Amino acid sequence: MQVGGLGRYFIEAASLEEVIQAWEFARSKQLPLFVLGGGSNLLVADSGWPGMVLKVAIPGIKETPRPDDVLFEAGAGEQWDRFVSHAVIVGCAGVECLSGIPGSVGGTPVQNVGAYGQEVSQTIESVRAVDRERGKICDFSRTECEFGYRSSRFNGRERDRYIVVQVSFALRKNGVPRVEYADLQRYFSGRSTPPTLAETREAVRHIRARKGMLLIPGDSDCRSAGSFFKNPVLSDSEFGELAARATARGLEIPSYPGLAAQRKVSAAWLVEHSGFSKGYRQGHAGISSKHALALVNLGGASASEVIALKDEIQRRVEELWGVRLQPEPVLVGF
Ligand code: NAP
């Protein structure tokens, strides 16, 4: 978002050994440690971060063919979209719908990144991390990662405990792409042959660009942290209440089945039906002109202006719809 203050110390670690050295340094100086991936999903306070910022920059993608699939072991510092591109080029399915997402590989298991019907939890086989309590290396199986909707043990019950250093994915050789969401189906409508993995990747990038969700240098709608609010997952009774409020206003809220006995609803719809249109401005902060969920720095915004806008949206949505939107970016130093 290009807002917020400085970190007191910054270190970029290009290997597991350097991550451990950085962790030891921070511990010996009793510095609070913030682990940075790609930096695309953050809002940093105007006062900055009083301790050490550790950027995990471990590179590398190792591929091992197996009888039923291909194992990809990727360094946490690899750019996520470069990893997706590589998987698609070598004909492996499972992450093609996650094209164009900024950030690094190491950040993806933390919030179980997902889009257009795919989530990394569907293909992650294991995660390697450094335990910040003991300085030890730990390996987690998919089950041990405790994945949920945009959640895992790494942002849940053990938030901030582990530094992810490597993620292993099992991808399907010659697998077919997933074309499930309406946006993708519309893109391919009228075609007689199923799209290839590469075409699906291109389609997702095209759709994301249209929504201002692809980083394009010079586009001010991209000065955002992506979606600022999570799509709420409601219980049946909460959803019933929300749907009744919508009906009373002659509206119908888009919703989709969630986990057992739950409904996912569109956060963008709630924002737009609470008096905030695309392109809304409040001081130097605003809403993207392409997507109601992206808060943007219109140029020279402070973190407190962004927070004031976030608070205003949350307040108004809750007042009208009885749903408290939860921010999605990591808030640092607040
Ligand atoms: P969208 O596609 O308009 O979708 C809005 C909501 O409707 C989401 O909760 C989405 O669920 C749900 N949905 C839409 N079609 C669905 C279907 N066929 N089946 C089940 N659920 C459906 O949202 P958007 O804001 O433009 O974002 C596009 C995609 O990027 C979405 O999948 C969104 O979740 C994802 N995204 C992910 C992150 C992240 O991982 N941190 C951040 C921003 C956006 P899902 O959320 O389950 O897809």
**pLDDT one-digit tens code per residue, 133-154:** 999 999 999 999 999 989 999 9
User: Residue 103's closest CA among 82, 124, 121?
Assistant: 82
What confidence score (pLDDT) does residue 62 get?
Answer: 98
Whether the predicted pLDDT of 330 surpasses 90: yes
Q: Tell how far the Cα of 9 is from the centroid of ligand 1, in angstroms.
A: 36
**Closest listed residue to residue 294, CA positions, set 231, 233, 229, 232:** 229
In single-letter form, the type of residue at position 194 comes to: P
* Residues in Cβ contact with 324 at an 8 Å cutoff, skipping those fewer than 6 apart: 314, 317, 318
Which member of 40, 121, 151, 227 is catalytic? Answer: 227
Q: What is the pLDDT of residues 52-72, one digit of tens each?
A: 999 999 999 999 999 999 999
Which residue has the CA at smallest separation from atom 18 of ligand 1? 181
> Cα–Cα distance between 85 and 200 in angstroms, integer?
11
| Cβ count near 252 (within 10 Å) | 10
How many angstroms is it from 173 CA to the middle of ligand 1?
26
Give dist(CA 128, CA 138) in Å, integer.
Answer: 6
Structure tokens of 116?
């257009």
Question: Both tokens of residue 129?
Answer: 């991390």
CA of 274 to the centre of ligand 1 (A): 20
How far is 66 from 20, CA to CA, in rounded Å? 32
Question: Distance, CA 331 to ligand 1 centroid (Å)?
Answer: 22
Residue in this structure with the two tokens 């590179």, named with its chain if needed? 59
Is 328 tagged catalytic? yes
Which residue shows structure tokens 């950040």?
107
- Would you place residue 31 in the very low, low, confident or very high pLDDT band (cuts 50, 70, 90)? very high
Give residue 273's identity as a one-letter amino acid code. H
Q: What is the DSSP string of 67-124?
A: SS-EEEEEETTSBHHHHHHHHHHTTEESSGGGTT--SBGGGTTTTT-EETTEEGGGTE
Tell me, yes or no, if 189 is annotated catalytic.
Answer: no
In contact, 268 and 192? CB cutoff 8 Å: no
Q: Please choose, from the candidates 231, 198, 35, 216, the residue with its C-alpha nearest in 3D space to the C-alpha of residue 114.
A: 231
Residues facing residue 263 across a β-bridge = 234, 257
CATH number of 61-210: 3.30.465.10
Please name which of 183, 187, 178, 216 lies closest in space to residue 100, comparing C-alpha atoms. 216
The CATH number of domain 7-56 is 3.90.550.10:
no
Among protein residues, the one with the nearest Cα to ligand 1's atom 39 is 113
Q: Domain ranges for the chain, please list them.
A: 7-56, 61-210, 220-332
Separation of alpha carbons 334 and 316, rounded Å: 22
For atom 34 of ligand 1, the residue with the nearest CA is 115
> Based on the number of CB atoms within 10 Å of its own CB, is 20 exposed (0-12), middle (13-18) or buried (19 or more)?
middle
Instruction: For residue 180, give the ligand 1 atom closest to its CA.
Output: 18
For ligand 1, atom 17, the nearest C-alpha belongs to 181
pLDDT at 85 over 90: yes
Q: What residues form DSSP beta bridges with 104?
A: 79
Residue 234: pLDDT band (50, 70, 90) is very high
User: What are the tens digits of pLDDT across the range 89-112?
Assistant: 999 999 999 999 999 999 999 999
Question: Does residue 261 carry a pLDDT above 80?
Answer: no
* Residue of 116, 221, 256, 273 with the most ligand 1 atoms within 8 Å of its CB, for mutation: 256
The pLDDT confidence band at residue 257, using thresholds 50, 70 and 90, is confident
Residue 227 a catalytic site member = yes
Catalytic residue among 150, 153, 208, 223: 150
Residue 171: which H helix or E strand, with range? strand 162-173
| Alpha-carbon span 147 to 272, nearest angstrom | 30
pLDDT at 258: 77
- Alpha-carbon distance of 153 to 132, in angstroms, equals 14
What is the Cα 31 distance to its own chain's centre?
A: 27
Q: What is the pLDDT of residue 325?
A: 98
CA of 23 to the centre of ligand 1 (A): 36
pTM: 0.92
Q: Count CA within 13 A, CB hemisphere, residue 150.
A: 14
Distance, in Å, from the CA atom of 301 to the CA atom of 196, rounded to the nearest integer, reads 42
Ligand 1 binding residues, C-beta < 6 A: 111, 113-116, 150, 180-183, 211, 226-227, 231, 256, 264, 266, 268, 293, 328
pLDDT for 185 equals 95
Protein residue whose Cα sits closest to atom 22 of ligand 1: 256
Q: Is the pLDDT of residue 195 over 80?
A: yes
Question: Which of the following CATH numbers is that of domain 220-332: 3.40.109.10, 3.90.78.10, 3.40.640.10, 1.10.3720.10?
Answer: 3.90.78.10
What's the Cα-to-Cα distance from 304 to each of 276, 277, 334, rounded to whole Å? 19, 21, 10
**Structure token pair of residue 217:** 């240098």
